[in-house]
Every structure is written in C-alpha cells, then in structure tokens.
C-alpha cells in the first residue's frame, strides 16, 4: 500500500485517495476501450503500424471500372496486411468517393473496406476525408457503420460540440508496452479535417475545427493526472488533409532528406489553411514526443520533412486505393516501425508498394532534419 501511495504521488495522481477495491473509476482508469483488447508493443519491444489512405471506394457504381477498382483495392489490402502483419493499421481518410454514392446504401461500401482487416485479424481505425462528407454520406455515418461491423475497429467520435459541424472523428488510441500495464507508452491521435459538401451548394470547412484545441488540452490533462507527465509517452498523429504548414515545407524540400514522390504541387485545397492554427498550436503545445503528423489527400506525394517552426515532422501517406485521381503512380502504404517503447526512440518509416518494393526509408529521430 505504501508502494502504491508513493507511486501515485510520483505520478502526480490521486496520492491521498486510497484505492477502492472495486467500482468507482479513478482518474487512473483512463481507458476509452474497457471492453477491447489493449493495443500493445510486441514482446521484442517493437510496434509496427501500416497506414492505408485514399481508398476511394464506390466510384462510378453504374459502370464496370469503379467496382473493378474496388476489387483491386481489396486485393491490395489483403496482400499488404498478409505480408506486413502490422500490430495496428490506419486508413487515413477518403475511404469512399461520396459524390458517386446512393443515399440508401452508401455505408455498405464500408463493409467491403473493413473485410480485409477482419480476415487478417488486425486492429485498426480510420480518419475521414473530404470525399467522405457528401450529400449522400457523412463522416458520422461511416464511423457508425464501421463500429457496428467489427470489434477490431478502434475508431471513436469526440463528444458533441468538439470538431465542428461534419467533423466528429477526433479521438486517441493508447498503445501499451504490456497488456497489464496501467499507463500507455504511445498515443495514436486522430483528427477530423472535415471538408466536402453538406448539400450540393453548401461546403464544409476543410480544416480541423478550433474546438478541437480545447479538447486536446483537456484530454492531455486527464492523461497527465492518470498516467503522469506527457514526456513519458510518445505520440503520432493522423489527419486526412495536410496541415497548412505542409505548403512552405514543399517550397524548401531537399530530396536527400525527404525521399519519395513529390508530384502534387500544394495549392489552395491541397492543405488545410491558416484557420487550422488554433488546432495546430494546441497539438504541438500539449503533445510532446510527437514523432510525426501524417496525412493523405494529395495522391502524388509521399515525402516527409521537418517543420522547424514547431520542430515536428510532417509525412504524406502513400495513395493506396485504385479509386481516386492518379497519374499512373504505384499503389501502396506507409509503414511506421517503433523500434522501442522508449517514447523518444527513433521511428523508422518507409513506403511499401503493392509488389513489395520498398522506397523512401528514413528514421525519424532528433538527427532527422
């Protein structure tokens, strides 16, 4: 009991409150997934994450090429999940090309999208993109459908009022060293950059809503009181539309430090805009050891670069889906390999194409500039 009290005071938690034998949740019970298995590092101390993005299911359902593309995307997901055997997977937005869907059955495309994760038994979660908000589909509808299909989905929605209209997909997933640990060593953050159309004439703002800033602050405060200082945890963030700071990064790109395709020039609509600064400032202020912020949206780019202003690395995904615009680029994923549960240890990342080709390998650590 003394040891527990000492530990609690070190962690800055509820030092003077005795631990109840059961019932009443303490701040130390901060686990958004009480009924699901904990996501953990492997016994060897590594954790591998595979990121799909821009699948764009459901294009031209009245034609044959759209459904054929979807079958090719399913095959790609099966192949890559089978080969890579990740500990966790992410789909980073634009799951569906909502402009082409029918009101009555749009979400059934989600069934096809989650099937490969169920077959491979890989836990996963998603962000939604601008094509996932259209008159016949919304982010919320996609998330509810996904949650109803499989326990492997860790996707959640922020409380009402957080994320703005049409932007519910803000949440975090804890990753533990061992399944019995009280405190995670890594937090996966997911943000909703909204975008798309509410009706045929009314668009949805395409940046993370300013209300997410206060939510980040209160969530990180809860984490500190439950688990101790934020410096004890690593982090990585996913958001479909790149933050506004991606634009100036492209202007100064060095192809040795930032290997990978750079074929989409970032203009209006390619990134969020300066309205994302409330969110961006709160993320960088409250989340230390942030290894990278990862986005899709621009299918022709898959480089990483460090933003020296906030001292944070931004990375593009790799366009995975056979749907969505392309100029003949190979399809693939971005992998992240956490080499140690140490929250400051370097993270390896690379692009894996469908045929197994590996490209643009780098290590994100303090030497990465």
Ligand X SMILES: *[C@@H]1O[C@H](CO)[C@@H](O)[C@H](O)[C@H]1NC(C)=O
Binding interface with ligand X (CB under 6 A): 61, 99, 102-105, 108-109, 135-136, 273, 275
Question: How many secondary structure helices (H) and strands (E) does the chain include?
Answer: 7, 13
Whose Cβ is closer to ligand X: residue 61's or residue 259's? 61
Whose Cβ is closer to ligand X: residue 21's or residue 64's? 64
Whose Cβ is closer to ligand X: residue 14's or residue 149's? 149
Q: How far is the CB of 111 from ligand X (least distance, A)?
A: 9
Whose Cβ is closer to ligand X: residue 183's or residue 273's? 273
Closest C-alpha to 136, from 101, 165, 96: 101
Q: Which residues contact 159 (CB under 8 A, 6 or more apart)?
A: 215
Q: How far is the CB of 155 from ligand X (least distance, A)?
A: 21
Closest C-alpha to 336, from 319, 352, 320: 352
Q: How far is the CB of 102 from ligand X (least distance, A)?
A: 4
Please list, residue by residue across 125-144, b when 16 or more beta carbons sit within 10 angstroms of its beta carbon and e when fewer do: bbbbbbbbbbbbbbbbbbbb
Closest C-alpha to 344, from 238, 237, 236, 233: 233
Whose Cβ is closer to ligand X: residue 105's or residue 119's? 105
Whose Cβ is closer to ligand X: residue 103's or residue 327's? 103
Q: How far is the CB of 109 from ligand X (least distance, A)?
A: 6
Strands 312-316 and 332-338: unpaired
Strands 124-127 and 358-364: unpaired
Q: How far is the CB of 196 from ligand X (least distance, A)?
A: 12
Sign of CA dihedral 256, 261, 263, 264: negative
Q: How far is the CB of 314 from ligand X (least distance, A)?
A: 19
């Amino acid at each position: 009991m003394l040891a527990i009290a000492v530990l609690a005071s070190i962690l800055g938690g509820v030092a003077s409150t005795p631990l109840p034998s059961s019932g009443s949740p303490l701040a130390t019970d901060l686990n958004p997934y009480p009924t699901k298995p904990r996501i953990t590092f492997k016994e060897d101390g590594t954790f591998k994450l595979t990121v799909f993005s821009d699948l764009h299911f459901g294009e031209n359902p009245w034609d044959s090429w759209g459904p054929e593309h979807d079958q090719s995307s399913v095959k790609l997901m099966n192949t890559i999940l089978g080969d890579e055997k990740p500990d966790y997977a992410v789909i980073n937005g634009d799951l569906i090309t909502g402009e082409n869907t029918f009101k009555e059955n749009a979400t059934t495309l989600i069934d096809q999208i989650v099937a490969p994760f169920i077959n491979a038994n890989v836990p996963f979660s998603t962000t939604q993109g601008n094509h996932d908000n259209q008159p016949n589909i919304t982010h919320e509808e996609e998330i509810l459908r996904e949650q109803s299909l499989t326990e492997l989905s860790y996707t959640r929605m922020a409380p009402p009022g957080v994320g703005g209209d049409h932007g519910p997909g803000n949440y975090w997933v804890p990753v533990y060293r061992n399944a019995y640990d009280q405190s995670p060593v890594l937090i996966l953050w997911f943000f909703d950059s909204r975008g798309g159309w509410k009706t045929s004439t009314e668009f949805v703002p395409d940046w993370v809503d300013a209300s997410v800033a206060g939510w980040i602050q209160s969530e990180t405060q809860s984490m500190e009181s439950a688990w101790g200082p934020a410096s004890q945890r690593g982090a990585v963030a996913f958001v479909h539309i790149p933050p506004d700071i991606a634009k100036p990064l492209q202007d100064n790109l060095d192809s040795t430090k930032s290997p990978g395709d750079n074929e989409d020039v970032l203009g209006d609509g390619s990134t969020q805009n300066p309205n994302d600064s409330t969110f961006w400032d709160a993320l960088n202020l409250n989340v230390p050891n942030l290894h990278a912020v990862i986005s899709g949206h621009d299918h022709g780019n898959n480089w990483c670069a460090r933003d020296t202003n906030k001292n944070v690395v931004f990375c593009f995904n790799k366009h995975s889906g056979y749907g969505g615009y392309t100029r003949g680029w190979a399809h693939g994923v971005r992998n992240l390999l956490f080499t140690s549960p140490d929250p400051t240890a370097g993270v390896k990342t690379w692009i894996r194409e469908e045929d197994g080709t590996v490209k643009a390998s780098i290590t994100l650590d303090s030497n990465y500039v």
